[in-house]
Amino acid sequence: MTIKKITRILTAIFLASIFCLSFANAAMKIIYVVHGSADDPFWGIVKNAVNQADKDFRRAPDRARVYFRSPSTYDMVEMARLIDQAVAEKPDGLAVSIPDANALGPSIRRAVRSGIPVVSLNSGSDVFRELGVSVHVGQTEYEAGLGGGTRMKSLGAKKAIILNHEVGNVALDLRAEGFTKNFGDAEVIAVSKDPSEIKSIVTARLRRDSSIDAVFALGPLSGEPALTAVESLGKVNSIKVASFDLSPRLLSAVKNGKVSFLIDQQPYLQGYLPAVFLVQLKRYATIPSGVVLTGPGFVTPKNADKVINLSKKGYR
């Protein structure tokens, strides 16, 4: 056998070994598909956590890449399409929010049937099991609403309006139901995501009914313009304002006493933990079961300063 032929054989063996080594060490692929866009204050924190998970897990021995995807607006048809697209890519794990099980259920079930491990986050604590998902990361929305209603009632409020900025999102419906159960006299008002429109609706409603002494928002997108409306009427001392979830402006308002409390479900954990669970499942075949609770917690004037500092860093 000539030296030239031996060299060709050794080269072929070397290249084959490199290929096999690269294949063995191929990075996991984890895809998140959620219903909120990254420019939303809440979902921006979730995306920060996803980006951090991608940075942490791309290094050996985990070798995972983590991707964040969402529709540009609250659109269940588009979200279902994004889930189907993710399934077609055959990732090692899928993390999804489930604001509408009827619209997203078929796509999620297809993912489960295809053998892709699925973790749900944020919305879906009431339906994830029936879709074949074993673990949900988030808060139980109805119970969180109950806590909000109890706290608002303890502040002495008697009559409230509840602002729903994502009609059709079952999680928000559950929040409103829980709040009403423990608070009492409350009316749900459907609003858009247009701050000016929300401010006008709240202002008109408060002017028309002077007995309303509480405004409860189901998220910052309605909470911030609601606060603007109450401020414009000069009623920050007589009308209690509270909201689910956090934003820099609402946190500042809590610190200054213009907002009574915020209900925190820790979106950073909701963004980070699904990746942790999916990586551990791949490595060790271990994963939690049921609901991994990230809330509810309450931000009040007593603890607002600490939360504000963490919010500036993108964690709260």
Domain boundaries, the chain: 10-139+266-295, 141-264
Note if the pTM is more than 0.85.
no
Q: Which pLDDT score, from 0 to 100, does residue 9 have?
A: 45
- What is the band of 40 on the pLDDT scale with cuts at 50, 70, 90? confident
Distance CA 259, CA 103 (A): 35
Q: Which pLDDT score, from 0 to 100, does residue 38 have?
A: 83
Exposed, middle or buried: residue 213 (CB in 10 Å: 0-12, 13-18, 19+)? middle
Give tens-digit pLDDT for 107-151: 999 999 999 999 999 999 999 999 999 999 999 999 999 999 999
Cβ atoms < 10 Å from Cβ of 77: 10
Give tens-digit pLDDT for 205-250: 999 999 999 999 999 999 999 999 999 999 999 999 999 999 999 9
Report the topology of domain 141-264: Rossmann fold (3.40.50)
- What is the band of 20 on the pLDDT scale with cuts at 50, 70, 90? very low
Same fold, 10-139+266-295 and 141-264: yes
Give tens-digit pLDDT for 234-244: 999 999 999 99
Q: In the predicted model, what is the mean pLDDT of the chain? A: 92
Can you read off the two tokens belonging to residue 25?
A: 């060490």
Taking residues 178-201, report their average pLDDT: 97
Cβ atoms < 10 Å from Cβ of 133: 22
Identify which of 316, 35, 273 has the alpha carbon closest to the alpha carbon of residue 136. Answer: 273
Identify which of 278, 289, 305 has the alpha carbon closest to the alpha carbon of residue 64. Answer: 278
Q: Does domain 10-139+266-295 have CATH number 3.20.20.70?
A: no
